Structure 1
């Protein structure tokens, strides 16, 4: 029985009560030892040891994390000041993406930020909680855009449409079915 296969209620009722530990390393060591003991005991329902049952399962191994990593992306909305939050850290993106939804993924020690199928920013992953990691040249071109995310709206002259003017009597005749074809 591995740690992943233990029922949460079973752990809460059998491992936690009265447990004393000095830190996370100690607690993890105790939990692993306890799991190994549970794995070797004879189960009350099946009458067998869980460690012996695993051999009969004929399970296929999961793909390596490296093979799955390319699919592990999460949507994030870029803040109006040009950052996305990932694992408690804010990472910068080019200002043109402010307010838009992007995809974020971790590849090894790198954080990649994607928009429209293109990687728009890459950062070294930071372990500093609530840190702020700027992107070099993150606000480049912002002065020329005068702080706008989208291009400045301008008026466009369109050709004047000529509409034929008729007396109201013509419309009354059509309404009564008199002048209709």
Structure 2
């Protein structure tokens, strides 16, 4: 601000040594654009993020909502001083005001779309094909076959669980 005041009141009002004119008069005559009419350059830091299952991306400890169709997709989040812009490819899918770490910013449209999906009619459960399982044959043995091992289970391991004998 001080430099702007210096140029407006001082330097622009004095006669220029080379041109012999005051810059403020030249500005009006040549119809140049005053410096106040320029939009300042906006600096934004870009981050690549994956949209979580709840439709949010996390940047610097803050969470920002996206539409449900973006869940699981990689997006680019541009964080500027006054806005957070989320892009999927070239398309802007969400714009938010920055929030402090630990806070969330969500758009009503995103939340409404998630509620619509959550309250929609449940999809039919696919029927399982159990015919393949019924084709399996399982050997059936009488329990008497295992009676020969009765009492041997105590002898199979010592106090540390180490096997001392073999099972035939």
Tell me if both proteins adopt one fold, taking TM over 0.5 as the criterion: no
Which TM class, normalised by the smaller chain length? 0.3 to 0.5
Could you tell me the TM-score, scaled by structure 1's length? 0.39
Could you tell me the TM-score, scaled by structure 2's length? 0.42
Q: Which has the larger radius of gyration?
A: 2
